[in-house]
Every structure is written in structure tokens, then in C-alpha cells.
Amino acid sequence: MDPTADSADLYAFVSPDDPGTVTVIANYVPLQAPAGGPNFYEFSPDVLYAIHVSNDGSARSNVTYEFRFESVLSDPTTFLYNSGPIASLSSKTWNRRQFYSVTRVADGKATELAKNLPCPPCNIGPLSTPDYPRLAQDAVHRISGATVFAGQRADAFYVDLGSIFDLGDLRPIEELHATFAIPGLKLKSAKGVDSTLHVNVHSIAIRVPIGELTNGGYGGGDVLDPRSTIGIWTTASRRAATVRHAGAARVTQSGPFVQESRLGNPLFNEVLVPLARKDFWNSQYPAGDAQFSRGVTHPELASLLPVLYPGAFPNLAAFNASGAPRADLAAILLTGIPAGVVSAGFQNNTGTIMADMLRLNVSIPAAAKPNALGVVGGDVAGYPNGRRLVDDVVSIELRAIAGVTLPLVDKAFTPDKAIADVGDGLTGAGTQLLGVFPYIGTPHSGYATPA
């Protein structure tokens, strides 16, 4: 109910074109209709946006990058976002602009890296933003050894929202769905549909040298070195007190910042945390996530799949009936995967503290030919080792919950054929990406995007 403070998505990966660095992308303000005028989308000036990194196994922030935004009107007497083509980031025809500051907090010390950095405008259309890729590239800023960008982008997250939340209907296997004996309803298998193919999002992207994030400035190199793995999550916070003054368009805020949302692994809060605890979960730190562990070790969706698809998941149903906890999911989502589980030369473990963080082993180089199924597809440079823009995380997590990753900890378990034979594509295909920073693609134009 508060999109500008919604930690919508998080990506973290070794930069494919700059292997000595890590890129982190944090998305907010999701599901933007490209034709969003006249009040176009933006970051909230009232929100403290932050990217957190834990590098010592504590699941508490050792390094934090904070972003604060300010909106500036050139002409407060008009309703127009722009009065003509926006030819540059300083164009006089662009009426509502945003600027931001970047602060690095490490060892309790805050250092402002930059301020008054301009964001690009929203991608309105060919008359208002005639050369949008150049405008966006001009909004890539190099600051104190880092590279940053903040602004509108095309949402790279692909998910078949329309089918998945229609009683767990997975289009590639929907002919197996129970359909609850609805007269005349016959489902047929089909390809997944990308529900977010034509929507935009606001992204904060930062690329920093690996040593800026790791314990003791470790530069990487040894995959099995514990210093190679870092845990990452994002938050959005607002001031504790807000007063809205009657009869005046004025708001006064005071007090410390209070966390409103956070995000580590994709879909953790959406699928594994019950409705009554979601707001509470958003207010907590990852170090306390043991209190939510039952949603991981005994996921509700795993018990629903054999019901929704009668006879299609006999092995999963038998495992559920045993009452055994899902140690595979606990490792993937809460502690990281120890060495020897996937292979002798892979690990992204952060210790024994259960915490929802996106874990990245910085010593694993970017893959030359990424597999969208990440580690499940044999590509250890992908999710759940960090998360790349190409990773089909919904397919990966659905397969994991359905039992595909159980053999990692239970050699006797055989994944059910219904899900084991389905590759990526449970949820459609993603949008076009860039080969250079900030990697996430050009936002869809309001003029050009179909209704």
C-alpha cells in the first residue's frame, strides 16, 4: 500500500564487463504503467533507501549505502511535467526533476560519497524524451571509486502473476491441475506469460570494487574462502513521526527512521511469510529470521502442490507426510549452501545464523553463457548465488519448493516428473537488457507501450 517504500526486487552479481566489481540493483515503485502521466513516477523524498552488506557472518550490516532523494520544481505554476522536449538532464523544459545523495556507512562511520546527482526523467514518449537512452546514460555517475544510477527502468523480473496466483496454475503443466471439478473447464498446457513484460520500475544501481564489500577488503580469488561470500539485502525507511497540517499543503517529519520494508531473496515475504506477519517481517533485521524459519522448512506451497495437482507429486506428498524439515530450502534461503553440497568447489555459506539475505560468492566469475536456471541449471554464477537479471528466479524457486533440490540433502528422494521435466519458462521470458551498467533495460515509453 506504499509503492515508493516497497523493496520490490534485488539483484547482486559480479559485473560481467568489470570482473573486479560487484553490481547491486535495488528496485522500488513496482508495476508502473508506462503511460503514467501527468504525475509521473519517482522516488519518495521522504524515504531513506538503503543497500546493506553483511560480510562477517553476523547477518547484520557491515557496509551500507544510503540514498536520499529531493524533488525540485522549475515552475510551480504549471501542471506540466515538461513543457517541451527534454534534451538533457539540465533541460529548462523539464519541470519536475529529482536529485539524490549517496552515503556509505562502514564501521559506524558515515561518508557522503556524492550529492545533487540528477536522475533521468521517466520515458514519456518520442516528443518529450526523443533520445531516452542517451538521457539515461548521462545519468550514470562515477563517484569515489563507485558507479551509480537511479531512475526509471524496464522491469527485468518476469513472472506469470495471472496464472500463479489463480490457485497455483502453472501453465506448462496446467492440464494436470485439479480445476476443482468446475463444469466445462478444461485446462491445456501452454507457455508461461510474462505479466511484467510492459511495466517499469524505479531502480537504484551501484557498482563497487569487490574489496569495498568484503571482510577486511578481501579481493576474492578463492571460492572456498569464507570471506568470498557476502549477504545483501535492501530496506526502505520513513521517519517515526509525521504530522499533516490542516489547511496547508505541509508535512512535518521527525524522529529516527523506521524500517517499512526489506528484501533479500525474491518472493520470500510473498510466499513463505503468512499474511498476518508480513508487516512485522518487514520491520525486522535478517539476523532475527530464525523466528520465520518454519515457513521455509515446512513451506505451505509444498503441501498445496499435491492437492492442486492430484497424482502429479506423489514423491513430494510422501516427503510432506513424513514431517521432515526442508533442509535444502533452509540452506538455499537462510544460511547459504556449504561446500560439497552442490560440488566440492562451490559454496555461498554465511554461517549458522538463519537470515534472509541474497548471498553472493564474489570469487565466482560471471558466466560467459548464463543459464537462466542458475545453480539448478548447473550455472553456479547464478541464483541462488547472488541474482542476475537473466535468472528465472520464479521457475527456480517453484522447482526447489516442488522438490527438485531435495536430492542435494536426501539422496533417496526423486523429484516428481511433473516438475523435473519443466525447464525455465514456467513464468515467461524477460525484457531486453543492456550489456553495460546499469544493465537493466531502457524503460518502456508511455507513448509506444500497448494498452
The pLDDT tens digits of the residues spanning 21-32 come to 999 999 999 999
Sequence-separated (6 or more) residues with CB below 8 Å from residue 39:
81
- In-domain check, residue 143: yes
pLDDT tens column, 174-207: 889 988 667 878 778 888 888 888 999 999 999 9
> Is residue 370 a contact partner of residue 379, using CB atoms and an 8 Å limit?
yes
pLDDT tens column, 246-282: 887 788 999 999 999 999 999 999 999 999 999 999 9
Tell me if residue 262 falls in helix, strand or coil: strand
Mean model confidence pLDDT for the chain: 94
Query: Total domain count for the chain?
Result: 1
Task: Grade residue 451 by pLDDT with cuts at 50, 70 and 90.
Answer: low
> Is residue 35 a contact partner of residue 446, using CB atoms and an 8 Å limit?
yes
Task: Tell me the whole-structure pTM to 2 decimals.
Answer: 0.96
Range of the domain at 238: 3-420
Counting every residue written for the chain, the total comes to: 451
Residue 108 C-alpha cell reads as 559506524
Half-sphere exposure of 263 (CA within 13 A, CB side): 23
- In-domain check, residue 432: no
CA dihedral 61→62→65→68, nearest 10 degrees, is: 50
- Predicted confidence (pLDDT) at residue 44 exceeds the cutoff of 60: yes
Give percent above pLDDT 70 in the chain. Answer: 97
- In-domain check, residue 208: yes
State the residue for C-alpha cell 498446457: 189
- In-domain check, residue 425: no
Mean pLDDT of 430-442: 90
pLDDT tens column, 137-169: 999 999 998 999 999 999 999 888 888 888 888
Task: Grade residue 105 by pLDDT with cuts at 50, 70 and 90.
Answer: very high
Sequence-separated (6 or more) residues with CB below 8 Å from residue 370:
379, 381, 382, 388, 390, 391
- Predicted confidence (pLDDT) at residue 378 exceeds the cutoff of 90: yes
- In-domain check, residue 69: yes
- In-domain check, residue 340: yes
CA dist., res. 374 & res. 88, Å (int): 39
Residue 307 C-alpha cell reads as 492437492
- In-domain check, residue 146: yes
CB neighbourhood size of 226 (10 A): 15
- In-domain check, residue 437: no
Task: Find, among 32, 263, 307, the residue nearest to 272 by Cα.
Answer: 263
CA dist., res. 378 & res. 25, Å (int): 24
Mean pLDDT of 107-123: 96
**Greatest CA separation for the chain:** 71
Name the E strands within 121-170: 141-143, 146-154
> Is residue 361 a contact partner of residue 210, using CB atoms and an 8 Å limit?
no
